[in-house]
């Protein structure tokens, strides 16, 4: 036996010091391999729409309704099943509602009926888990009693009476509400084991910070970063161009509250600068997405802040492009192409009149240099972003749980695309002195993004990494952006649809071809016969008849319009994907009205199954990524047994 292998087995022996302990663990692990595979939940492009997103998490994209249907079928009315579902989704609020509506006697009866029904649903949801795994899902206060109620206790003959006596005690000592909450949250945790967020938690919507707070409480979650996530990650690292982009988008979508109230980032310096600099400028080209009821004075201030930070952004981006010529983004440097006297700009030999001709902070002789006031402002904003504890906590979580892509259980997950040439082959992208393509491009970008946030010893790599985060946000060769250019300047200043167009990567046309999809799967080490590509980023234009399912089901693009800004395009309010032991189920969701509607009127989000792909057999843990790890551990433990029995390692009895 090799020396290193023996050292490893000796280390393993500290955990399993004798044959009995090692054998017991092998038996337990073998039992786990035979259980049905975990249920995975895939979501994408949430864009801060926390109410819709959190509700879909609570209902497991309809999985909880399905469990209720499996348990009760025709034995409960449709109304009772809706009421039970609402209780599972929002137990605290639903209990409080029933307290207001029912008499004391009726409330006690409702408690008992609800507890019985919840235990039945919980038992169905827990069927594929080991007792050890279940204990970890139980709230500590009710762990013992939940385990007792969910187990098949053969010692108890009259089970109904046994359950009722337990419920009577819980109700009598005024713990019914807490117990209902505990069971409901346990059901939510059991119905979906793992959550995959395929990018873009941030921008546009009002609650990315609320979403992040919730995700940090989940046991099994992973992220495949989107470009909107990356620009926030860059901002948290102190990259000034990323900071300007984050603030500009927040102003545009009237969500500066996310920065000020959600993260406690002080924007008063920006407001003061904007009022002083653009006092008499209506800033009409810098409108904000505001509801009619918003205070006109607030909207006016937001427009000024919007313009102020946009101009700063164009300057800062020009500085990065000049510093990094290998990014090949000279076409995004436009300020020096403006004729400031005439109010025109010349791009590719064509002259356009600018919609806004007021640039009080730009020096035509050096247009990318910040004014002293802008420089002072950015210094303060950079300090505010770097010193924001909550933002740093969220971004560290994104780095710890996230990556540019993920290969997991026969699915390849990434946010945007794999950059391709017109023939469907991986486009070569130059970074530094080397060219990268395919998986290698993803890997090198992730490497530098992590350097940009974490590196402390090598300042040059740290600065390059921060610039790479901005590159990932907006470059045509970025896998998570995937468009020819980010036409931000053109959309503000030029009234010409042709020059505003952001042409998509060849990927989006060629991914329909099976040979292209197979080439991508092979590049990432995936089996081409059974694997899928799952990604988001590009809203699926359902209203125009576009399908989220590409290449005969091999590719699924699940950006369905969580973001309100895209719902006219998509016609729905989001896609989610469920992958359990029976197969894949792609679900489309209608718009979520409100939490109150679910609690008071028991109106759930209407969801339709778009496609179901059933497995030819029920998948077990042995067929999953976790199963591979368990098999490896069993193999190691069997080697340890052999070492004990051959006398290579002595047992500790």
CA dist 232 and 76 (Å) reads: 48
What is the pTM assigned to this prediction?
A: 0.92
pLDDT at 533 over 70: yes
**H-helix or E-strand containing 589?**
strand 583-589
CA dist 521 and 519 (Å) reads: 6
CA dist 626 and 632 (Å) reads: 10
**Domain final position from 392, 407, 434:** 392
What per-residue confidence (pLDDT) applies to 564?
66
Q: Within 10 Å of residue 158's Cβ, how many Cβ atoms?
A: 9
Classify 300 as helix, strand or coil.
helix
Sheet holding 350-353, edge to edge: 338-339, 344-347, 350-353
Dihedral of the alpha carbons of 189, 191, 193, 196, in degrees to the nearest 10: -100
Classify 632 as helix, strand or coil.
helix
Over residues 502-527, the pLDDT tens digits come to: 999 999 999 999 999 999 999 999 99
Confidence of residue 276 (pLDDT cuts 50, 70, 90): very high
Higher pLDDT, 607 or 36: 36
Range of lowest pLDDT (57-71, 225-239, 253-267, 326-340): 57-71
Average pLDDT over residues 484-503: 96
pLDDT at 228 over 90: yes
Query: Is 75 in the same domain as 153?
Result: yes
CB distance 554 to 537 below 8 Å:
no
Nearest to 186 by CA among 116, 133, 222: 133
Query: Is 31 in the same domain as 44?
Result: no
Give a yes or no: residue 413 inside a domain: no
DSSP 164-216: HHHHHHHHHTT-HHHHHHHHHHHHHHHH--EEEE-S--SSSSS-HHHHHHHHT
* Rounded-to-5 percentages of helix, strand, coil across the chain: 55, 10, 35
Query: Is 90 in the same domain as 9?
Result: no
Give a yes or no: residue 601 inside a domain: yes
What per-residue confidence (pLDDT) applies to 506?
97
What per-residue confidence (pLDDT) applies to 588?
80
Query: Is 223 in the same domain as 144?
Result: no
Give a yes or no: residue 430 inside a domain: no
Number of separate domains in the chain: 3
Give a yes or no: residue 158 inside a domain: yes
Confidence of residue 432 (pLDDT cuts 50, 70, 90): confident
Integer angstrom CA distances of residue 382 from 262, 388, 508: 17, 10, 36
Give a yes or no: residue 105 inside a domain: yes
What per-residue confidence (pLDDT) applies to 593?
67
pLDDT at 596 over 80: no
Confidence of residue 600 (pLDDT cuts 50, 70, 90): confident
Dihedral of the alpha carbons of 286, 292, 293, 298, in degrees to the nearest 10: 10
Give a yes or no: residue 437 inside a domain: no
Q: What is the mean pLDDT of the chain?
A: 91
pLDDT at 543 over 80: no
Query: Is 78 in the same domain as 145?
Result: yes
Give a yes or no: residue 208 inside a domain: no
Query: Is 20 in the same domain as 88?
Result: no
Query: Is 108 in the same domain as 193?
Result: yes
CA dist 79 and 75 (Å) reads: 12
Confidence of residue 419 (pLDDT cuts 50, 70, 90): very high
Longest dimension (CA), the chain: 93
What per-residue confidence (pLDDT) applies to 414?
97
Q: Nearest 5 degrees, angle CA 84-CA 563-CA 603?
A: 20
What per-residue confidence (pLDDT) applies to 565?
62
CB distance 259 to 236 below 8 Å:
no
pLDDT at 567 over 60: no
What per-residue confidence (pLDDT) applies to 576?
85
Where in the sequence is the domain holding 631, given as residue range(s)?
Answer: 3-35+625-645
Average pLDDT over residues 186-205: 92
Higher pLDDT, 653 or 475: 475
Q: Within 10 Å of residue 382's Cβ, how many Cβ atoms?
A: 16
Task: State the DSSP code for 36.
Answer: B
Query: Is 234 in the same domain as 378?
Result: yes
CA dist 584 and 443 (Å) reads: 28
Integer angstrom CA distances of residue 271 from 234, 308, 447: 23, 9, 36
Over residues 80-131, the pLDDT tens digits come to: 999 999 999 999 999 999 999 999 999 999 999 999 999 999 999 988 888 8
Give a yes or no: residue 114 inside a domain: yes
What per-residue confidence (pLDDT) applies to 153?
57
pLDDT at 23 over 70: yes
Sheet holding 40-43, edge to edge: 402-403, 221-224, 194-197, 40-43, 575-580, 583-589, 607-614
What per-residue confidence (pLDDT) applies to 11?
92
What per-residue confidence (pLDDT) applies to 612?
75
Query: Is 75 in the same domain as 171?
Result: yes
- For residue 228, give every residue at least 6 positions away whose Cβ sits within 8 Å of its Cβ, in sequence order, or none: 47, 199, 200, 201, 202, 203, 249, 473
Average pLDDT over residues 25-34: 94
Nearest to 311 by CA among 367, 260, 271, 353: 367
Query: Is 224 in the same domain as 190?
Result: no
Confidence of residue 208 (pLDDT cuts 50, 70, 90): very high
Provide the percentage of residues in the chain whose pLDDT is more than 90: 74
Range of lowest pLDDT (49-63, 347-361, 457-471): 49-63
What per-residue confidence (pLDDT) applies to 247?
98
Task: State the DSSP code for 221.
Answer: E
Query: Is 12 in the same domain as 118?
Result: no
Tokens in use for 473?
């946000």
Query: Is 98 in the same domain as 26?
Result: no
Task: State the DSSP code for 324.
Answer: -
């Amino acid at each position: 036996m090799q020396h290193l292998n023996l050292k490893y087995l000796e280390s393993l022996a500290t955990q399993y010091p004798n044959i009995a302990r090692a054998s017991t663990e092998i038996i337990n692990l073998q039992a786990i391999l035979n259980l049905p595979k975990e249920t995975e939940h895939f979501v994408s492009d949430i864009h801060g729409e926390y109410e819709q997103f959190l509700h879909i998490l609570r209902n497991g994209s309809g999985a909880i309704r399905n469990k209720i249907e499996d348990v009760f079928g025709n034995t409960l009315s449709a109304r009772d099943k809706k009421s039970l579902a609402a209780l599972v989704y929002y137990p605290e609020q639903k209990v409080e509602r029933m307290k207001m509506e029912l008499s004391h006697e009726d409330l006690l009866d409702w408690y008992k009926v609800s507890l019985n029904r919840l235990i039945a649903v919980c038992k169905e949801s827990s069927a594929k888990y080991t007792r050890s795994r279940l204990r970890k899902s139980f709230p500590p206060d009710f762990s013992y009693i939940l385990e007792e109620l969910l187990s098949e206790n053969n010692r108890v003959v009259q089970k109904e009476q046994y359950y009722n006596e337990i419920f009577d005690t819980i109700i009598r000592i005024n713990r019914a509400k807490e117990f209902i909450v505990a069971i409901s949250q346990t059901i939510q945790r059991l119905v979906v084991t793992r959550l995959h967020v395929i990018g873009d938690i941030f921008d546009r919507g009002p609650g990315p910070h609320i979403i992040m707070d919730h995700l940090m409480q989940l046991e099994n979650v992973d992220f495949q970063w989107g470009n909107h996530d990356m620009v926030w990650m860059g901002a948290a690292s102190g990259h000034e161009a990323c900071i300007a982009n984050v603030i500009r988008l927040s102003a545009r979508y009237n969500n500066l509250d996310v920065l000020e109230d959600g993260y406690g980032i002080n924007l008063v310096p920006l407001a003061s600068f904007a009022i002083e600099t653009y006092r008499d400028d209506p800033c009409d080209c810098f409108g904000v997405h505001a509801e009619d009821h918003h205070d006109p004075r607030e909207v006016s201030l937001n427009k000024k802040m919007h313009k102020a930070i946009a101009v700063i952004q164009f300057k800062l981006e020009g500085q990065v492009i000049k510093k990094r010529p290998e990014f090949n983004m000279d076409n995004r440097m436009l300020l020096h192409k403006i004729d400031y006297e005439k109010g025109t700009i010349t791009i590719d030999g064509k002259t356009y009149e600018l919609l806004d001709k007021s640039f009080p902070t730009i020096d035509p002789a050096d247009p990318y240099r910040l004014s002293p006031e802008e420089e002072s402002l950015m210094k303060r904003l950079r300090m505010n972003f770097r010193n924001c504890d909550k933002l740093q906590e969220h971004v560290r979580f994104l780095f710890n749980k996230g990556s540019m892509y993920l290969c997991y259980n026969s699915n390849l997950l990434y946010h945007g695309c794999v950059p391709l040439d017109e023939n469907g082959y991986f486009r070569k992208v130059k970074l530094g002195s080397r060219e990268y393509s395919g998986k290698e491009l993803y890997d090198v970008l992730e490497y530098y993004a992590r350097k940009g946030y974490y590196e402390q010893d090598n300042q040059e790599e740290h600065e390059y990494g921060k610039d790479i985060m901005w590159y990932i946000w907006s470059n045509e060769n970025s896998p998570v952006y995937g468009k020819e250019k980010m036409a931000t300047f053109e959309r503000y200043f030029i009234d010409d649809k042709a020059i505003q167009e952001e042409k998509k990567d060849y990927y989006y046309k060629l991914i329909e071809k099976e040979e292209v999809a197979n080439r991508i799967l092979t590049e990432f080490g995936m089996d081409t016969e059974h694997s899928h590509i799952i990604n988001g980023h590009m809203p699926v234009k359902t209203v125009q008849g576009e399908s989220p399912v590409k290449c005969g089901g091999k590719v699924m693009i699940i950006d369905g319009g969580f973001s309100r800004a895209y719902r006219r395009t998509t016609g729905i309010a989001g896609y989610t994907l469920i992958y359990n032991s029976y197969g894949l189920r792609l679900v489309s969701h209608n718009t979520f009205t409100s939490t109150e509607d679910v609690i008071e009127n028991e109106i759930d989000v209407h969801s339709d199954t778009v496609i179901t792909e059933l497995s030819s057999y029920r998948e077990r843990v042995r067929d999953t990524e976790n199963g591979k790890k368990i098999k490896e551990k069993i193999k190691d433990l069997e080697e340890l047994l052999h070492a004990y029995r051959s006398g290579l390692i002595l047992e500790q009895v």
